[in-house]
Structure 1
Amino acid sequence: MSLFKKMTEREKGLREKAESGDADAMIQLFLDYAHGTNDIKANEQIAVRWLNMALEAGDARAMGYKGILLHKQKKYQKAVELLNDAYEAGFKDVAFTLYMYYSEKPMLDETKATHWIEISANDTQTASSQIKAGNRYLLGKGVDKDLSKGKQWIDKAFINAKADKNDKAECYGSYGYIHQENGESQKAKECYLEAIKMGRFEYSFLLAGIFEKEGNLEKALEYYQYGADHDVPACKPELKRLKKMG
């Protein structure tokens, strides 16, 4: 039996379209072979072949995906050039990828990271991008610290998070930080508790810190212990320190 006969009707159809110059079909074949989806066995070599064909056709998505592949190969400069070209050509999804690249080494540039995550937040209107944009203003990463502007992004994210538990939890954690910075410790504690209830155990560290500052060492110990029990690294030395004090 030939290889062609083993293909699904869907794959046959895509190949026929791709071979006739259909860039959408090329991109779909690239994605299927890259990820092993739609009854197609993953094959990196074939995936790259279809991607390169789409790139030769000038497809913006192909520029973006090629940029991602080059970044994985540590060919950073060419990767970023392609990602920027992809965005300019209309593939808006790469804004988040550019944020990721500029927010970590070796391409770390906090100002550019903030620039791209704000673009992503505006383009996609997704809670995850809006939370990241907001948190950069809350922490002053790549921009001057601005609690008001940070809160604006978190407010949008909270609405767009809808039923997504993780996004909601992150919003509560960010609100807790805003309240804490504004000296509203009771509201901060309430928000941190909501985030913790939704599974974001790292906020137990900040919650415990508020209790400790207030002199409530019993509650501080409780939440440092809670965080340590849930593998929050920052809680473990603080728990040890407080136990020694007691």
Structure 2
Amino acid sequence: METTTSKTIADASYEYDINGSSVTINAEELHGDQKWIFEEILSLNIDGTANSAEGVAGMYRVEDNSLLMKKRYSVVFNYNVAQQLESINIVEKRITDNGEDPYPLKWNVDFVWENNNMTECREYVNQTSPMKVYEYTYYGGIGVDYAPITQYPVLRAYYTPLRYQGRFGIQTKSLLKKATIDNNYTTDYSYNISTTSTKSIVEEYFEKLPSGRETQYTVGWE
């Protein structure tokens, strides 16, 4: 699956083990002039949600495919009593010619939920000085039965297909109206919805950037 969000393109493959207790992921993300390659094993809880992940990431220059950095990482996913993703804890260790860096980078992602909607996401090393803050507002009323995930990726763009499967807990109830990054970059969303006697489906949605540029997306459901 290929996912485009915030100028990040992810191309990934997913293989479940025979018991359904883990997913082997091989993914590639493009970030500007860099290519990031991930080899990861995502372990699942009994209910099918993501429990933890272990992997290696290599960062390469697109122009000549030269290695810029390699790191080993581990991730732990935490949920609240409503089975909503509450926080993510990440530990990264740079891999050098002499082995792993003895001083790992530890950082976190926290999520705030209100009325069964994710309203805020904070990435930080120091909680008082977050690296990135995402804020979300939603349309009122009842949500639809089939809606696209339009919020920014949870940690990695290649996790998005797994979010549709419920691997990261219960999803937001309402349709996203606005997404704001660091209180100064807001993207607006609108939707075309098809309704029958048994279900409601988002067939198209529109993403309007601060520059005024608007992109239309057609959604296919199987």
Fold match by TM threshold 0.5: no
TM-score by length of 1: 0.25
1 or 2, which has the higher strand percentage? 2
TM-score by length of 2: 0.27
Bigger relative contact order, structure 1 or 2 (CA pairs below 8 A, ≥6 apart):
2
1 or 2, which has the higher helix percentage? 1
